[in-house]
Amino acid sequence: MDFIEIFVNQIHPLSKEVLEEFKSIFTEKKYSKNEIILATGEIATMFYIVKEGIARSYIMDENGKDHTRSLFVPVSSTGSLESLITKKPSSSNYQCLSDCVLLEGDFFKFKELVKNHFELSLFYSKILENIFLIMLKRITELSTLNASEIYKNLKKEIPEIDNLIPQYQIASYLNITPVQLSRIRKELYSK
Amino acid sequence: MSFIKAFTDLYLPSQSDEFIEKINTIVKTKFYKKNDIIINLREVPSKFYILKEGIVRSFVIDSKGKEHIKTLYKSISLFAPLSSLITKKSSTFIFDCITDCEVLEGNFYDFITLTKSDLEFSNFYTKALENVYISSENKIHNLSVLNATERYLKLKKEIPQIENMIPLYHVASYLNITAVQLSRIRKKLYSKS
């Protein structure tokens, strides 16, 4: 089973004919570590499925400080869905934190297929539901947990995270300073 | 009916009259009083709600018994324990009324059945989910990028009267700060004038 079939089957099965049409909107692309996939201010036309590697979305504030918003690992979809939906410029940057292999999909072609195939409309709803569940988890984390607890969750989801991205970027994801993260790690690992 | 049209126009303008009529048949009007609980913990929910008047909040209770407000809804909005409706598990959020409220209540699963056979309903559901996505993105942005003062000012812009409606410790909870921190922020902001 190829990678797109794996992605599709975890969401909502498609008939053979529609699956082939869906596959046809993707191109496999390689990105190097730190390469920008989509920059703030650009209007997005593509969405991406992460096949290998880890990516993130982040914002630069007026002081030049970067704030990591979300992290993406295989098999997740990424890209500025907000920009794709509203056709307005992306408010975030999307970047590869390691060398990545991404499947780039043409969103406009996808929406055309959705219009012509009812099962893709149901498929799209299912993707949006899944994305929502992931986001809700992140929102609940950010509004009810402290940084140490969010860090523990992160380690559970992505155990190698400390080897994949620098500490200051993990701190940014937790919305704390690197010094605070250092204290948290010291406390966790000295036990 | 014109209220339903005003609601659907928020998501997908100019729906057919038949579509509006069908929505009308699956919802019914309900009135709640201030502090009434609309959706409780450990209930397996089945309804979605369109808020016509009033303010509703959703919150969780953490392991230490502390309340954390997740979202505040004002008219016209759609609210529902969506994650529980999707996973068919019991709600982890409580939805209650901060003021007297009027809502249109509908059965979510009846709606989903309609999406499977009616393209107009499927498209509407997709649009509603896209909107939920966008407001979730904004929430994550606010929580991970803005500082507490900025989040406070944003809240005041959306619901100016909020401090007259809920106690300050609830406002602090919504902003994910302590009551003391909120007090400091307000003192700093209001002593300038």
Residues from chain B that touch A61, judged by Cβ atoms under 8 A, are 145
Residues A139, B140: C-beta atoms closer than 8 Å: yes
Q: How far apart are CA B187 and CA A27, in angstroms?
A: 55
Point out the residue among B68, B129, B144 whose CB comes nearest to the CB of A129: B129
The reported pLDDT for the residue numbered A1 is 60
The reported pLDDT for the residue numbered B173 is 83
Has residue A143 got a pLDDT over 90? no
- pLDDT per position as a tens digit, A81-136: 989 999 999 999 999 998 999 999 999 999 999 989 999 999 999 999 998 998 88
Which residue, among A60, A57, A59, A61, has the nearest Cα to A48 in the 3D structure? A57
Mean pLDDT of chain A: 91
Q: How far apart are CA A3 and CA B188, in angstroms?
A: 55
The reported pLDDT for the residue numbered A108 is 95
CB A43 within 8 A of CB A89: yes
CB B156 within 8 A of CB B162: yes
Residues A82, B133: C-beta atoms closer than 8 Å: yes
**What share of chain A in percent tops pLDDT 90?**
59
* Identity of the residue numbered B144: S
SS3 content of chain A, % helix, strand, coil (to 5): 50, 20, 30
Name which of A144, A152, A154 to mutate to probe chain B: the one with the most chain B Cβ atoms within 10 A of its Cβ: A144
Within 13 Å of residue B28, how many CA atoms lie on the same side as its CB?
A: 3
Which residues of chain B fall below pLDDT 50? none
Residues A139, B143: C-beta atoms closer than 8 Å: yes
Give me the interface pTM, i.e. the ipTM. 0.82
The residue behind tokens 């989910």 is: B129
Q: How far apart are CA A78 and CA A72, in angstroms?
A: 7
Has residue A20 got a pLDDT over 90? yes
Residues B136, A125: C-beta atoms closer than 8 Å: no
Is B31 in CB contact (< 8 Å) with chain A? Answer: no
pLDDT: which is higher, B143 or A53: A53
CB A164 within 8 A of CB A52: no
